[in-house]
Every structure is written in C-alpha cells, then in structure tokens.
Chains A and B, each alone.
Chain A
Amino acid sequence: MNKKFLKLFVTAISVLLSSWGIYVYGCADGWWGAYNSVFSPEITVNQSSYQPFFYDAENLFYSGDARSAQQQFLVENVQDWKTYLGTFATEDALSYYLYNDTVPEYLDNWRVAVQNNNTFELPYLWDVKDQKVKNFFIFLQIARGTEQITNQTYDYWDYDNRQQLKMEAHKIVAVENLYNKISSTDSFFKNRMWFQLMRLKFYSDNIQSAITFFDQTHKTQPKNTLYYRALHYVAGANKSQGNYQKSNEILAQLFDEFPLLQHAAVFEYRPMTHKEVKISIQKLQPAHQAAFWAIQGYYGDALDAMKEIYAVDPSSKHIDFLLTRYINIIESQVNIYGDSWQPTAMKSVNDFRKKMKKNVDAATFHWVQEVAKEGKVTNPFLWQVASGYLASMQTKFSEATGYYLNAKQYAKTDNQKNQLRLLNLMNEIAKTDKVDKKVEARLLEDLNWLHHELPNTDYSKVEDMRYSYAITWSKQYLSMLYKQQKNDLFAEVVFSKVGFYKNQKQSEAMEQFLLKPNHSAWERLWIDLYEFKLADIYESRGIYLFYQDKIDEALAEFEKITPFERKTYNWEKERDETQLVDYRTIPLPGNPFNGKIKDCNDCEHAARQSIKYSSFDLLKKIKEMKAKIAIGEDVYNNALLVGNAFYNASYFGNARAFYHNSIINEYGNSISKEHEKMLYGMGNVKKYYTLAQNAAETSEQKAKIAYMLAKVERNDFYSNTYFIPNEYYSGYGNNVMIRKWKGFEELKNNYSDTKYYQDVIAECGYFRKYLGLQ
C-alpha cells in the first residue's frame, strides 16, 4: 500500500497531526464538548482562524479541529501561476502540471521539448517559445523533480525504507546557481525559485543552511504566502536543532501575521514558563510579543497571558480567544452535570449563589471590568458581555445588567443579539429570590423565547448558540424557588422530579391543576414544557391499580384518558411532526392471554394475532373473566387466562409494554428498587393459577397448571437470587439456573401419561434435564 505522505514541514509533526486528526475526527460533532456552556466563543470572537483554540475539555484543539493550510496553498499556487502566465495557461492545465501524480515521469522529455521549442510533445499546447512558459517548466523540473524527497511517499509496510531521504548537496548547488542567474526583474519567477531553494535546503543534510539562506535573502522577498511558508521552514529547522526559543519566536510571528498557519504555530510551539517567555520576547516587536503571549496562554495561564498582551498592545486581537477560554473554563467548573445527566441540584438560593461566587476570583473579575471600561480593546462586545457574565457569577446582578446594556450597542449580528439576550435572561433569573406576578411578567417573554422559539429555529441560524444548559438550568432554578415558596406543585411542573406521583394527594392536585380552565400565559408556558400529560397520570394510576388486582378502579382511570397531540422529530424528514396519541388504543406487542410452555417473547411478538389487545382492552377482558369466575362459570379456563395476563404483564411476560409509562419509567432491562415487587412479583399470577388448579378436572388441565406453577416458582427464584440482589452475571458460568421445581415433580409423578407432559418434554430443555434425558 503506497500512501502519499504530505509533508508540510517537519515529518514528525505531520505524522502526529494526521494520526491525531483521524482520532478526533471520529468524534468531532459540533460543540458537543461544550454542553455546560452558555458563552459561545464562535459568537464573541470575531475571527474564525482562532476557532481551534477555543476551550475544549476533551481535545487538544476545539472539536478536534485539525485544519491544515495545505489545500489553500494548492489553490493559491495555481492562481499565482495563472496570473503570471496569463492566457498561455488554463487552470486545468496548471493543476495537471503541478499536482498530477504521473507528471514526474515525463519531466525529462518535456525539458528537451521546451528547449527545442517543440510544443507538440506537451499534453497542453502552450507557446514554449515564451520565456514565462520556459520559466514554468524550469520551475516544474525542480518542484516536481525533487518530490521523492520533499514530498516523500513510502510504503508503511516496508521496514527497510522508512527513513527521510535527504537532498544531495551538489543538486542544491545547481539549483542555487540557477537561482542566482535569474534576473530580479522577473520577481515572480525569482520568488518561486527562492521558495524551492528554501525547501531543498530544509530537506538537506545541512538543515542550518535553510536558516542561513533565509536570513540572508528574506529582505528581498515580498511578504506573500511563500514568504510565510519559508518562515515556517525556518521555525521547523530551529526546532529540529533544539533551538526552541528561536522557533517559538518565529511561530509567534506566524501566528501574528499569517492566520493560515496559526493552527500549525500553536501546535508546534514548545511551552515555556512565564518567566522564560518574559526573557525571550524582550527584543520582539509588540505585535509579536502579544502573539507569543497568546500561544503561551493557550497552554498555560490564560489570565496572565491576557494581562501581558494588554500591557504590550491593548488593541491586539489575540487577546479575545483567551478571554473566552478563561470564561469557558470557569463554566466547566461551575456548571457541573451530576449522575443523572442533570446539572447538579440546587439546594437553595443562598447555596447556589455561594457556590457560583466561589468560582470567580474577585481580582480577575475586577481586571476584566477595568479593561472593558477603558475601551481600548478592539472587540468591546466581548469584553462588555464577559464583564456582565462574570458580574452575574459574582452575584452582582445589577452591575451585570449595566454591562449588558453597554453591550447592546455593539451587538450587530443576530447571533450577538441572541447571546446577549441569553446571558441577560440568566442574570434576570439568577437575581430572583421569589416568584410572583411581577417576576412572571419580567421573565415570560424571554423564557418563551428560550424554551420555544430558539429550539424551533432553523438550526443553521442558531448552531453557534450555546443554550441547552440554560434550558435545564432555568427550570431547575425556578423550580428551586417554588420549592422554597412551598409550592411543590409548580416546582414539579417547572422541573419534574421522580417520585412526585407516589403521593396520591399531589397526583390529584396536579390533575386538578391541569384540568383547570383558563391557565395564565405563565402557567401555559410550563404546562406545554411539562413532560407528563394528564393521560400519563391516568395511565400510571391505572397501571398501579392493576398490579393490586383492582381491575374496576384501574378501568376507571383508563376511561379518563383522552387523546392528545404529541410532537416527535422525524429524522428522515428532519422536522417535528405532530401526532394524535391515544394510550387506550395502542396495541400490546403479543397476545397477553398466551400461556406457552416456552417464554419466548420475541416469538410471541412475531406471531400473528387474530385479536389485538391494547392495555385498555386487556383490562376490560379481565373484568369480564373475573365476573365469570365470581359466578363459577368455566373457572378453570377463566382463572388460567387471568393468571396468564398477570404473568405476561410482569417482567417475565410478553406484555411488558403494559407497564411502559413515563411516570413509572421502567423501560430498561432491569427494574428499579421501587418497582421490583410489583414487576418481578408473581403474587397475582399464583393466585389465579391456584384458583385454576383447584377448578381443574382433567389430567391435561392439571398437568398444564402444574407446569405453569413451576414457571412461577422459577421466576421467584430468579428474582430473589439474581435480579433483586443485582447479580449482574446471572445465568452465566456456574450459576444455578434450574432446581427441582415442585411443578416439575408433580408433572413427572402424576401426569406423565398426558399429552401435555410429552409437549413439555419436546419444548422445555430444563425439564428434559430434570428428567435426566439430556
């Protein structure tokens, strides 16, 4: 496998970059690492070349940004030559000559052809008598003719040929002689050849010669892309010789003057201590000093670096990304997510404010404010907004409002306006001690914007906004206030907590509240956001009553359920869709009255069902059957079927969907402590199977019930031995899976002459094992 290895500058560096790039691209997905932030550097920093340096707790560069300037260089080369050659060349032809892999094979032929003015030997009909065209082919001979060294390809699997090849000295001398002969009047060609010479010297045995050559000649060169690429070689040459101070100086210059190589400059920078930087930069011009500090601040202390930049050049744009890093780092400490993927709980207003305040250093806050006030920075929007946010964290809410008012005049784009609005809203919420009508009026519009408008805005328009944390945080904070005000009901509506519905009084109060006509706009906002509908409440009550075998009461709750509209996101069509949902008609996936030998829920779900039962239908049917049992009609069959229904609605059965309800919240493979008895429990099943057993008349009937009761005994054993003690590896290794269930014994001892007995042998491996048949 031959892979072309694009060597940007230093082989080792590009190896690192590309392998690292592969790793991070795998998980790069917008700002997924910024889930605890509401302060977007994308919006507050004005220049996109700084983007890789935004704060990211997981990756070296923000979102795994592994950008490279290479592609841009390729494009520019073509454009530059096009400008030089004018009508002689097309872009297609130039791309072919400059980048096609097969070109090096023909270079010698073309050289002769061009020397002999023989146009027809070339793949494109250019006027080779023209000196500029001749120059192009001289250039091509060197640029493409040395690629085996300057753009070395190698086979990863060839151990013997892994070493970087070096340019031979005599070849460099020849190119240098050629270069010296070029008239300086053809400045374009001279400049191109100058860069080629830099490149060859870099890949020679004498890497120092690249530095010397640059020092001697750079003043005669224009400060174009080639200049900075050559400068990058000089940085690499210094670094490879361990001269880190010099390489850092050059990288700072690149960072300052050539944004395309900012990313590379930061990556290749070798961190120093603050003291060492102070000494290193003394002779540099202020703009480069500021850049030096900017890179140092990326690896080291952002605040120290900002102060140094501000002292050297208050208008330096390099300071901005550092301020966003500083703030994003504080956010990552303040806005912590807890175990259940919710921001950590707030106990009280005082507790919340104390914690917030603790994380912001007062002196730093003061410094940022002073800078904002002095008005010397080039990005006043950022500094005003940052001061406001820090003031808010310092619980100086009215000061924060002042800064946000100042920032308003600088907020030009929609993004900036949204950013400001978001932070202002958070400040307005954070300053609130108690919710009353006034507070509702003050917050309503902005909360509607945050919770309804923003999430429904075209994603491309708000992709730079970081607001998801604010969505949860605002609910949590207001819910905490309601809790303090002893309004548990509204605390729940604003931010739901597990367990609210365990309390019957609360459940009824919520029902009344949701049923109440004429909700206020404030109430409407939260009701719309509330994750439970009346239908969920009724259904959950019905489910709980079912497991208590209170079928009539359960039915009464189900009767109250009405259809409601639900929004779901359609991934194919990429939009929200509204559906009418009626819990009473959703069919269960299998027939809940089945009582098979084998518990294979998947098979039962796949099997054709002539009658489909919803949970509601199931309850109605059970009611009928219980009525028949009560009057002694076909007790065996009715009790067996009711037993089966309870079996299937348990954790073990084919109708687990019966207990799927967002309040009960048991969707997983294991059951929470709270519902273990209810869902693992076999009490009702046993009750009805025993009724059936007592009513059984034939041996077949008795055999069947004996087996069903063995399944019950087995389930109890699994629950008590493995599931409830939470032994994860149940059913694995030496764990006991079967015992001499009473039902097995009965089946074997009393009903071995039945057909059912034979069916069990055919279908149930455990029974065969018990009988010693396998």
Chain B
Amino acid sequence: MKKWMILLVLYFLYACQSSTPPVALSAYYWKTHYKLTTVEQSFLQEKEIHKLYIRYCDVGLKNNEPVPIAPIEWREITTLPKEIVPVIYIKNEVFLKPHVDIKDLVQKLKIYVQQINAKAGVQTQHVQFDCDWSLQSKEQFFEFLTEFKKDTQWYLSATIRLHQVKYFKKTGVPPVDHGVLMYYNMGTIAPVDENSIYDRSIAQKYVARLSDYPLHLDVALPIFSWGVQIRDHKVVTVIGGMREQDIRQDTVFKKIQDFTYEITEEYVYKGRLLQKGDRIKIEEVSAKDLQQATKDLSTYIKPREVILYDLDEKNIKYYEQEVFKTIRHGY
C-alpha cells in the first residue's frame, strides 16, 4: 500500500511538473526473428508505442566483401505496429576496408531493405544506421550515408555513442537527419565490479557536452541485461538476457557480493557449460538508474523520442511499469 502511495505521489509530481508534452516512447527489436509474445504486444499497446526500430540485418565482411548477416525473419507480421524503422548495424570492419565500393553497397542495401519490407508488407521512409565508426572508418561511413540519402531520399538517423558526442570535432558528425544517443555500453566488459552497460560516473563525464552537439539527438535507454561469465579473473563470455531473478533461486549460483555469483557445481546454462568456481556478474540497469539517467539527460537535451533497448518480455517484466511513465515525462 505504501509503495502504491509513493508511486502515486511520484506520478502526480511528474504530471504536475511537466509543462511540456511527454516524449514519444518506442523500442528496438533486436532478435533474429520477429514474433511478439502476448506480454510484448500488450506492452506496446499500454505504453502507446506505435513505432518499432527493427534490426533488419548486420553488415559485416565475408571473404573481404560486405554481406548481410543474420537478417530478420518474419514469423508473425500481424503484430507489427504502425511504423517500422529498419535498423542496419554495420560493423566497423566494413568501412575500415580500404576503397569500399560505396555506390554498390548503397544499391545492394537499398534493395535488401526493400525485399525485407516486401516480405512483411511494410513501407519505410526512415532508416537508421548503427555503426561504431572510428577515425579511420569515418570518411567512408559518412560518404556511405550521403550516398544512401541521395539515392533513396529516405529520412536517415544514426546511433551516436557517448565518446562520439564528447569528441565530435574529431570523430565527426554523421550526415543524417538526426542522431540517437546510445546511453549504454559505457564501460568495457571486464572482470571488475563496474557495470559496463550503465555507469553514471562515466556518463557524467560526457553528458555536459550533449548541448554542444550539432545534431538533434533522441535517446536510447537500456532495459537489457546480461551475465558476464568470469573464470580465473578473465571474461569467458557474455550470456545475453541473464538477470538476477533468473538465478537467485538456484542453489548452483551462490551470491558472493552484489550482482556476482559463484558456481557451486558444474552446470549447463542455455548450452553453456559453467564450471565450478566460475563467476557470473549480472549487469542490469535498475529503474532508479533509468530515472536518474533521464534526469541527467534532461538538463542538456530535449529528445522528441526515447527508444528502449530492447523489446523483450523479460526486460519488460523486470521493471515496475511506472518507470516508463517517468521516462516519458522526464524531459
């Protein structure tokens, strides 16, 4: 009852404070096949999410040629929301390769997106590119974006990482219509206590530079989680989707400190063999973190839209639903 009261008060507080309309809420869909669970469907409805950013494919090098990797497979298209934005993740290696045939890549990718669209019976006017470009690949990536725009006339957005905001004079500003600030993956995945997904102390080193960024920025916030498997102080692998609540009940996982568990006997978890003595560090982002992040960001930018990364039943269920409201009303 007490909790209810607090939430209610919080809600009213936010409701009263917000003189500007709430920002739109949308989500990334990052799986290799498209099919929503009923929980995911009702989440979209309840949260009035009418737009999904769907990962259409990755692009990487095979035999030194750019090719699409793991394209989306449509399994159930009746649940598609009104607006679909294809997202293409391009590995940096593609543009690190010298003399990429940019025009050829533009043509191929355009047709590929159209093919995927046709299969789902959707049309798109907006495409988003996700590429962690570096100083060496910048020129070709930006040229690609310019060519893609020229050829398709589609509205383009691109993901922007924190370091690219702070050092934008060096790293460059992509020639797109707007950017989406990825407010996650801030640290390195390492056998240390820090959370690599979200770390406010790292974020704060960058956040003040947001207002200088010459491109309009929307925001992507993390609601995903993973488990970092550590053996002998070395990272073995990252197990996607793992949450504390999945393993808390299982005696094989013995909690040794906050978010860190030790494996007490050999165990196969989703096809991975965990050895006795291995450690699993759960990295997840709390509702409080999300609220704090929203507050920190709101001082410096006014996004039109906040995109959740990523739409998945487990991620949705992890949060008290009110947090999504505070995110929408936080700017």
- Chain A residues in the interface with B (C-beta under 8 A): 1, 3, 18-19, 22, 57, 156-160, 162, 270-276, 299-301, 329, 332-333, 729, 732-733
Distance of A57 Cα from B111 Cα, bound (Å)? 42
Which residues from A are CB-within-8-Å of B265? 273
Which residues from B are CB-within-8-Å of A732? 169-170
Which residues from B are CB-within-8-Å of A158? 115
B67 located at the interface, meaning its Cβ lies under 8 Å from any Cβ of chain A in the complex: yes
Q: By the criterion CB–CB under 8 Å, are A299 and B112 in contact?
A: no
Contact with A along B235-276 (1 / 0, CB 8 A): 000000000000000000000000000000111100111011
Distance of A42 Cα from B62 Cα, bound (Å)? 31
Q: By the criterion CB–CB under 8 Å, are B271 and A270 in contact?
A: yes
By Cβ-Cβ distance, the 8 closest A-B pairs, closest first, are A271-B273, A159-B115, A156-B67, A273-B266, A157-B108, A299-B273, A300-B273, A274-B266
Q: By the criterion CB–CB under 8 Å, are A271 and B271 in contact?
A: yes
- CB contacts under 8 Å to A, within B266-298, are 266-268, 271-273, 275-276
- Distance of A235 from chain B, by nearest CB (Å): 16
Q: With A160-B115, A732-B169 known to touch, is A271 a contact of B272 (CB < 8 Å)?
A: yes
19 contacts between A and B (CB under 8 A): A1-B65, A19-B69, A22-B62, A156-B62, A156-B67, A156-B68, A157-B111, A158-B115, A159-B115, A159-B116, A160-B119, A270-B271, A272-B268, A275-B266, A300-B273, A300-B275, A301-B275, A329-B232, A733-B169
Q: With A3-B62, A301-B266 known to touch, is A159 a contact of B71 (CB < 8 Å)?
A: yes
Closest to A18 in B: B62
B61 located at the interface, meaning its Cβ lies under 8 Å from any Cβ of chain A in the complex: yes
B234 located at the interface, meaning its Cβ lies under 8 Å from any Cβ of chain A in the complex: yes
Given contacts A22-B61, A271-B271, A273-B266, 8 further A-B pairs with CB under 8 A are A1-B65, A157-B68, A158-B115, A159-B115, A162-B71, A300-B273, A729-B167, A732-B170
B63 located at the interface, meaning its Cβ lies under 8 Å from any Cβ of chain A in the complex: yes
Q: By the criterion CB–CB under 8 Å, are B266 and A300 in contact?
A: yes
Which residues from A are CB-within-8-Å of B267? 273
Q: By the criterion CB–CB under 8 Å, are A157 and B67 in contact?
A: yes
Which residues from B are CB-within-8-Å of A300? 266, 273, 275
- Distance of B4 from chain A, by nearest CB (Å): 44
- Distance of B59 from chain A, by nearest CB (Å): 10
Which residues from A are CB-within-8-Å of B119? 159-160
Closest to A299 in B: B273
Closest to B265 in A: A273
- Distance of A339 from chain B, by nearest CB (Å): 15
Which residues from A are CB-within-8-Å of B273? 271-273, 299-300
Which residues from B are CB-within-8-Å of A333? 232
- Distance of A289 from chain B, by nearest CB (Å): 18
Closest to A301 in B: B275
- Distance of A710 from chain B, by nearest CB (Å): 28
| Interface size, chain B (Cβ < 8 Å) | 29
Distance of A57 Cα from B115 Cα, bound (Å)? 42
B234 contact from A19, A57, A160, A276, Cβ within 8 A: A57
Contact with A along B86-120 (1 / 0, CB 8 A): 00000000000000000000001001100110010
Majority secondary structure, B binding face: mixed
B112 contact from A1, A159, A329, Cβ within 8 A: A159
Distance of A224 Cα from B148 Cα, bound (Å)? 54
Which residues from B are CB-within-8-Å of A160? 115, 119
Distance of A631 Cα from B257 Cα, bound (Å)? 77
- Distance of B293 from chain A, by nearest CB (Å): 25
Distance of A270 Cα from B273 Cα, bound (Å)? 9
Contact with A along B131-156 (1 / 0, CB 8 A): 00000000000000000000000000
Distance of A273 Cα from B112 Cα, bound (Å)? 43
Closest to A273 in B: B266
- Among A1, A157, A271, A329, max chain B CB count under 10 A is at A157
Which residues from B are CB-within-8-Å of A156? 62, 67-68
Distance of A159 Cα from B116 Cα, bound (Å)? 7
Contact with A along B183-227 (1 / 0, CB 8 A): 000000000000000000000000000000000000000000000
Closest to B64 in A: A22
Q: By the criterion CB–CB under 8 Å, are A19 and B62 in contact?
A: yes
Distance of A446 Cα from B116 Cα, bound (Å)? 68
- Distance of B211 from chain A, by nearest CB (Å): 14
Distance of A275 Cα from B267 Cα, bound (Å)? 10
Closest to A26 in B: B93
Closest to B273 in A: A271
Distance of A299 Cα from B273 Cα, bound (Å)? 7
Which residues from B are CB-within-8-Å of A275? 266
Which residues from A are CB-within-8-Å of B266? 273-275, 300-301
- Among B232, B271, B275, max chain A CB count under 10 A is at B275
Which residues from A are CB-within-8-Å of B69? 19
Q: By the criterion CB–CB under 8 Å, are A301 and B276 in contact?
A: yes
Distance of A733 Cα from B112 Cα, bound (Å)? 41
- Distance of B23 from chain A, by nearest CB (Å): 30
Distance of A669 Cα from B2 Cα, bound (Å)? 61
Closest to A57 in B: B234
Which residues from B are CB-within-8-Å of A270? 271
Distance of A671 Cα from B276 Cα, bound (Å)? 47
Q: By the criterion CB–CB under 8 Å, are A271 and B112 in contact?
A: no
Which residues from B are CB-within-8-Å of A57? 234
Q: By the criterion CB–CB under 8 Å, are A3 and B63 in contact?
A: yes
Distance of A299 Cα from B267 Cα, bound (Å)? 12
Distance of A299 Cα from B170 Cα, bound (Å)? 44
- CB contacts under 8 Å to A, within B47-84, are 60-63, 65, 67-69, 71
- Distance of A5 from chain B, by nearest CB (Å): 10
- Among B69, B265, B266, max chain A CB count under 10 A is at B266
- Distance of A40 from chain B, by nearest CB (Å): 21
Which residues from B are CB-within-8-Å of A19? 60, 62, 69
Distance of A274 Cα from B108 Cα, bound (Å)? 49
Q: By the criterion CB–CB under 8 Å, are A157 and B112 in contact?
A: yes
- Distance of B236 from chain A, by nearest CB (Å): 10
Closest to B107 in A: A157
Contact with A along B156-184 (1 / 0, CB 8 A): 00000000000101100000000000000
Which residues from A are CB-within-8-Å of B60? 19
- Distance of A428 from chain B, by nearest CB (Å): 29
Closest to A162 in B: B71
- Distance of B210 from chain A, by nearest CB (Å): 15
Closest to B271 in A: A270
- Distance of B50 from chain A, by nearest CB (Å): 25
Closest to A274 in B: B266
Which residues from A are CB-within-8-Å of B115? 158-160
Distance of A272 Cα from B169 Cα, bound (Å)? 52
- Distance of A20 from chain B, by nearest CB (Å): 12
- Distance of B280 from chain A, by nearest CB (Å): 16
Which residues from B are CB-within-8-Å of A1? 65, 67
Closest to B117 in A: A159
Closest to A161 in B: B115
Which residues from A are CB-within-8-Å of B68? 156-157, 159
- Distance of A16 from chain B, by nearest CB (Å): 11
Which residues from B are CB-within-8-Å of A159? 68, 71, 112, 115-116, 119
Which residues from B are CB-within-8-Å of A332? 232
